[in-house]
């Protein structure tokens, strides 16, 4: 027990058996600063650092280097208690970036990110700043704040659980980077329970009949091949289809090489080989004839595929009386992987689609109507309705209305039983 500036500073344990620093004021009032799960030695060190922080105002000094270093790494709850004691300036961490500054620094410092990933991170940024504000320091955001942010996206912004989960995951990644760099000590999104990132209501199986109807309304061979690559090849659009070159097509071995930027950090560097399935071959051949011998890209990057492709294609579908499915390109990949997984081992389907078994199970594989019908033994006709009058003898039906109601009910019941036994 030590006395500093009129305060008695002691180390004690709370009801859960965790250490806390107790400050006894001259009026005998006690303030506790919880230290969390620490060893006895760590708790004693923390008590000395707290004592150094409290002693600084009375001596008109600043805490020593060791105390300042500990204060910079101290958990948010300890700093809050020190601020409640009137040590706001001393407990304030200098040089901590605001939320806006940190996100900008993180994204600009990640030259390895793809353009599509940057787009998603910027969407997450807009939602984080709308909720927390641009000037809040990142070390002031708590786990409770992270949970409130998740609830706010689903209730106030009316985002789906999957979309809210996506933005929380991206926020978690950016705050993890701050932890690794020592800017903050704890990621407020680390313990956040996230909902499944797949919305089952947006799963859709694009049948072959629907796919062929779409192919019939597309204007040329390049567009038809692009759609076929998504539906029958399972390629990502536009990131994979726009990187496909004619030199990647191996006509002799009936396969083509896909360069996937999304999976470039995987063991195979994002490169995989996909068969030229029978559904793809005529579209490959037609596009080759249309492109000419000197064409480099299978799908011209500056041609039909750009940011407006999905919008344009949905417009074409509606003009043809076809209702677009919820997630246009992802549903095409999901449909194809579901078909392949039914015909080939799952690891083979995943190798051709370019994902893992876990991702396939969580986000891609579907249960189709055809599988339900197969499990039930095929389609069955509805049972023929029971013809009440046909089961009643003609002699009774002629004077049916003259019979008492209870007699009619008994006759119908007996006739039904007799009819069932004959069948």
Question: CATH number of the domain that 274 lies in?
Answer: 1.10.443.10
pLDDT tens digits, one per residue of 73-104: 666 667 667 766 665 454 445 568 899 999 99
Average confidence score pLDDT of the chain: 81
pLDDT, residue 226, reads: 92
Range of the domain at 70: 2-91
| Angstrom distance (rounded) from CA 65 to CA 70 | 9
pLDDT, residue 395, reads: 56
Number of structural domains in the chain: 4
Residues recorded for the chain = 423
A 10 A CB-CB count for 361 gives 13
Answer whether residue 383 is part of any domain: no
Q: In the 8-state DSSP scheme, what is residue 196? A: P
Domain boundary residue among 42, 63, 91?
91
DSSP characters for 116-141? HHHHHHHHHHHHHHHHH-SS-BGGG-
Answer whether residue 106 is part of any domain: yes
Domain with residue 170: its CATH number is 1.10.150.130
- Res 218 pLDDT > 60: yes
Residues 6 or more apart whose Cβ sits within 8 Å of residue 17: none
Same domain, 330 and 405: no
Is the four-CA dihedral 367, 370, 375, 379 of positive or negative sign? positive
**133: which 2 tokens?**
């504000």
Mean pLDDT of 212-234: 92
**166: which 2 tokens?**
């996506």
> Is the bond preceding 203 in cis, omega lying within 30 degrees of 0?
no
| Angstrom distance (rounded) from CA 311 to CA 306 | 10
pLDDT, residue 59, reads: 60
Place of tokens 């008492």: 404
- Res 358 pLDDT > 80: yes
pLDDT, residue 54, reads: 73
Answer whether residue 32 is part of any domain: yes
The CA angle 316-319-322, to the nearest 5 degrees, is: 85
CB 32 within 8 A of CB 74: no
Q: In the 8-state DSSP scheme, what is residue 398? A: T
Same domain, 174 and 25: no
Of 35-49, 82-96, 181-195, give the lowest mean pLDDT range: 82-96
**Most distant CA pair in the chain, distance:** 117
pLDDT tens digits, one per residue of 100-131: 999 999 998 888 887 778 889 999 999 999 99
Same domain, 171 and 259: no
Domain boundary residue among 91, 119, 136?
91
Same domain, 302 and 406: no
pLDDT, residue 91, reads: 42
Same domain, 326 and 412: no
Sheet of 271-275: strand order equals 249-250, 255-259, 271-275
Place of tokens 């779409």: 214
> Where do the DSSP E strands lie in 14-149?
19-24, 30-36
Helix (H, G, I), strand (E, B) or coil at 280: coil
Domain boundary residue among 54, 72, 91?
91
Answer whether residue 279 is part of any domain: yes
Place of tokens 């029971």: 386
Same domain, 212 and 272: yes
Whether the model pTM is above 0.85: no
pLDDT tens digits, one per residue of 245-302: 999 999 999 999 999 888 877 777 889 999 999 999 999 999 999 988 889 999 886 5
pLDDT, residue 394, reads: 57
Q: Which of 64, 126, 72, 116 is nearest to 94 (CA)?
A: 72
| Angstrom distance (rounded) from CA 67 to CA 41 | 16
């Amino acid at each position: 027990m030590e006395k500093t500036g009129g305060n008695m500073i002691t180390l004690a344990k709370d009801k859960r058996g965790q250490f806390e620093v107790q400050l006894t004021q001259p009026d005998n009032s006690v303030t506790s600063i919880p230290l969390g799960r620490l060893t006895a030695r760590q708790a004693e060190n923390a008590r000395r650092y707290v004592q150094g922080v409290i002693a600084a105002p009375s001596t008109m000094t600043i805490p020593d280097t060791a105390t300042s270093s500990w204060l910079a790494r101290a958990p948010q709850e300890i700093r809050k208690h020190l601020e409640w004691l009137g040590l706001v300036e001393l407990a304030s961490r200098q040089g901590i970036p605001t939320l806006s500054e940190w996100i900008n620094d993180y994204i600009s410092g990640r030259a390895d990110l793809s353009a599509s990933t940057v787009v998603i991170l910027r969407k997450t940024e807009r939602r984080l700043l709308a909720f927390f504000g641009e000037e809040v320091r990142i070390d002031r955001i708590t786990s409770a704040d992270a949970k409130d942010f998740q609830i706010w996206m689903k209730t106030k912004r009316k985002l789906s659980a999957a979309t809210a989960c996506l933005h929380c995951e991206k926020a978690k990644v950016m705050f993890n980077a701050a932890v690794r760099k020592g800017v903050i000590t704890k990621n407020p999104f680390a313990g956040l329970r996230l909902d499944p990132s797949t919305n089952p209501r947006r799963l859709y199986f694009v049948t072959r009949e629907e796919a062929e109807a779409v192919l019939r309304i597309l204007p040329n061979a390049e567009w038809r091949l692009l759609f076929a690559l998504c539906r029958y090849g399972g390629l990502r659009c536009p990131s994979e289809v726009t990187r496909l070159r004619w030199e990647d097509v191996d006509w002799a071995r009936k396969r083509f090489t896909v360069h996937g930027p999304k999976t470039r950090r995987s063991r195979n560097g994002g490169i995989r080989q996909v068969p030229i399935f029978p559904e793809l071959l005529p579209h490959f051949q037609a596009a080759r004839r249309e492109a000419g011998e000197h064409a480099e890209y299978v799908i011209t990057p500056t041609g039909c595929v750009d940011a407006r492709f999905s919008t344009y294609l949905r417009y074409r579908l509606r003009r043809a009386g076809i209702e677009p499915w919820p997630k246009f390109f992802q549903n095409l990949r999901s449909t194809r992987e579901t078909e392949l997984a039914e015909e080939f081992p799952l690891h083979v389907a995943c190798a051709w689609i370019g994902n893992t078994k876990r991702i396939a199970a969580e986000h891609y594989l579907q249960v189709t109507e055809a599988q339900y019908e197969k499990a039930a033994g095929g389609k069955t006709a509805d049972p023929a309705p029971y013809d009440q009058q046909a089961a009643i003898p003609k002699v009774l039906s002629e004077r049916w209305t003259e019979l008492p109601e209870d007699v009619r009910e008994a006759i119908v019941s007996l006739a039904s039983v007799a009819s069932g036994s004959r069948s």
